[in-house]
Amino acid sequence: MKLSVIVVNHNLCMWLRQCISSLEAASDGVDCEMIVVDNASADKSVEMLRSKFPGVRVIENNVNEGIAKAYNQAIKVSSGEYVFLVSPDTIVSKDTLLKVVDFMDNHTEAAGTSIRMVTPQGHFIRSSKYGLTRKWNMLIKWAGLSRYFSKSRIASINHTAPDEFETAEVDVLNRSAMLLRRSALNKVGLFDERFAMFGYDVDLSFRLKVEGLKNYYFHKTYVINFNIKPVPKYTLAYFKYYYGAMLAFISKYLFEAPKLTLGTPGKALYAPRYEMEQ
């Protein structure tokens, strides 16, 4: 199979329905499977999926396992050469899957790619090309790891740097829409589940770079992102998951991992390997 499309949902039934509809339209001509992991939604998301989209495989969790663990659940049972991870609060354009798979087929050095994202009003979302927020940039600079995020550092200094219509190598794949090569995941492992809601994209992108692989931003299609936050800002849960991810990242790479050198990875960087279910 060429492609596995994976969506993790928690109480976003309305958004999920339009997301899956757009993905089904975009899957025409692509050998793919679609998997939705539902993290204990209470809004009848699972019932909607089984009624409206019988061809979608549903993994139903009894508790909210977090985004990273839910993605891992689906990746382990998927079979595509590529894995497309997309948030339920998005709509993909009709040519997205064909174009992004073709890009990866023709760029064998690419471990993964993000896709150009726009708001419902059509405005470019800067983070779809440069995935680090200002706070993450500051943290990485303080930790002495900024040399591994050179493209993000340039972008943070020069606000004109992100060219929306230029495919380019980037540091961090955006979590809302990323395509990953399975063979790259076999090398570095799956998402580190300590980064339950935030930071899992930064951590995986970093491990891919340390392995000597490349991350890209692809501009020749688009995804509409409604930007519904998984955890509301200014809440205790947000503080726990967002800043907790930062602390976990610093702990992992300053205290647990050996000295880093691109292309010569250290074993402590890696998430556990996994075996595909038969």
Domain encompassing residue 58: 3-269
Q: What integer best gives the mean pLDDT of the chain? A: 89
Answer for the pair 90, 225: CB distance below 8 angstroms, yes or no.
yes
Measuring CA to CA, which residue among 121, 245, 145 is closest to residue 195?
Answer: 245
Is 163 among the domain residues? Answer: yes
- Pairing relation of β-strands 32-39 and 57-61? parallel
CA distances from 202 to 78, 79, 95, 108 (A): 23, 24, 27, 22
Is 237 among the domain residues? Answer: yes
Mean pLDDT, rounded, for 262-268? 55
pLDDT at 266: 55
Q: Determine the Cα–Cα distance for residues 256 and 263; give it in Å rounded to an integer.
A: 18
pLDDT at 8: 98
Q: Is residue 255 very low, low, confident or very high in pLDDT (cuts 50, 70, 90)? A: confident
Mean pLDDT, rounded, for 157-176? 81
Answer for the pair 114, 219: CB distance below 8 angstroms, yes or no.
no
pLDDT at 153: 57
pLDDT at 179: 98
Kindly report, residue by residue over 117-163, the tens digit of the pLDDT: 999 999 999 989 977 888 888 888 888 888 788 777 555 545 545 58
**E strands, 71-213, in order:** 82-86, 90-92, 110-118, 168-170, 177-181
pLDDT at 267: 52
DSSP string, 114-130: EEEEE-TT--B-GGGTS
Kindly report, residue by residue over 41-99, the tens digit of the pLDDT: 999 999 999 999 999 999 999 999 999 999 999 999 999 999 999 999 999 999 999 99
Res. 277: pLDDT tops 50: no
CATH (domain of 95): 3.90.550.10
Is 275 among the domain residues? Answer: no
Please give the backbone phi and psi of residue 56, each rounded to the nearest 5 degrees, phi first. -85, 130
pLDDT at 27: 96
Is 154 among the domain residues? Answer: yes
Q: Determine the Cα–Cα distance for residues 56 and 53; give it in Å rounded to an integer.
A: 6
Kindly report, residue by residue over 181-198, the tens digit of the pLDDT: 999 999 999 999 999 999
Q: Determine the Cα–Cα distance for residues 37 and 82; give it in Å rounded to an integer.
A: 18
Is 88 among the domain residues? Answer: yes
Q: Determine the Cα–Cα distance for residues 69 and 64; give it in Å rounded to an integer.
A: 10
Is 277 among the domain residues? Answer: no
Please give the backbone phi and psi of residue 47, each rounded to the nearest 5 degrees, phi first. -60, -40
Is 278 among the domain residues? Answer: no
As for how many domains the chain has, the answer is 1
Mean pLDDT, rounded, for 167-183? 96
pTM: 0.90
275 versus 18: the higher-pLDDT residue is 18
pLDDT at 160: 47
Measuring CA to CA, which residue among 107, 143, 118 is closest to residue 219?
Answer: 118
Q: Is residue 278 very low, low, confident or very high in pLDDT (cuts 50, 70, 90)? A: very low
Is 276 among the domain residues? Answer: no
Res. 260: pLDDT tops 70: no
